[in-house]
Amino acid sequence: MKVEIWSDIACPWCYVGKARFEQALEAFPHRDQVEVVHRSFELDPGRAKGDTQSVISMLTKKYGMSEAQAEAGEDNLGAQAAAIGLDYRTRGRDHGNTFDMHRLLHFAKERGRQDELIQLLYKANFAEERSLFSEGDERLVELAVAAGLDADDARKVLADPTAYADEVRADEREAAQLGASGVPFFVLDRKFGVSGAQPAEVFQQALTQAWGERPPLQLIDQGDADACGPDGCAVPQK
Do the beta carbons of residue 201 and residue 36 sit within 8 Å? no
Phi first, then psi, for residue 37 (nearest 5°) are -125, 135
Tell me, what amino acid is at 232?
A: G
DSSP three-state, residue 38? strand
As a residue count, the chain comes to 238
Do the beta carbons of residue 58 and residue 97 sit within 8 Å? no
DSSP states of 145-202 as a string? HHTT--HHHHHHHHH-TTTTHHHHHHHHHHHHHTT--SS-EEEETTTEEEESS--HHH
With 0.85 as the threshold, say if the pTM is over it: yes
Residues 186-211, mean pLDDT to the nearest whole number: 96
What letter does residue 33 receive in the DSSP assignment?
G
DSSP three-state, residue 235? coil
As a whole number of angstroms, the distance between CA 233 and CA 144 comes to 47
As a whole number of angstroms, the distance between CA 130 and CA 126 comes to 10
For the stretch 92-127, pLDDT in tens is 999 999 999 999 999 999 999 999 999 999 999 999
When the pLDDT of each residue in the chain is averaged and rounded to a whole number, the result is 93
For the stretch 166-191, pLDDT in tens is 999 999 999 999 999 899 999 999 99
From first CA to last CA, the distance across the chain in angstroms is: 44
As a whole number of angstroms, the distance between CA 130 and CA 51 comes to 16
The percentage of the chain sitting over the pLDDT mark of 70, rounded to a whole number, equals: 92
- Residue from 185, 5, 8 nearest 98 by CA: 8
For the stretch 39-86, pLDDT in tens is 999 999 999 999 999 999 999 999 999 999 999 999 999 999 999 999
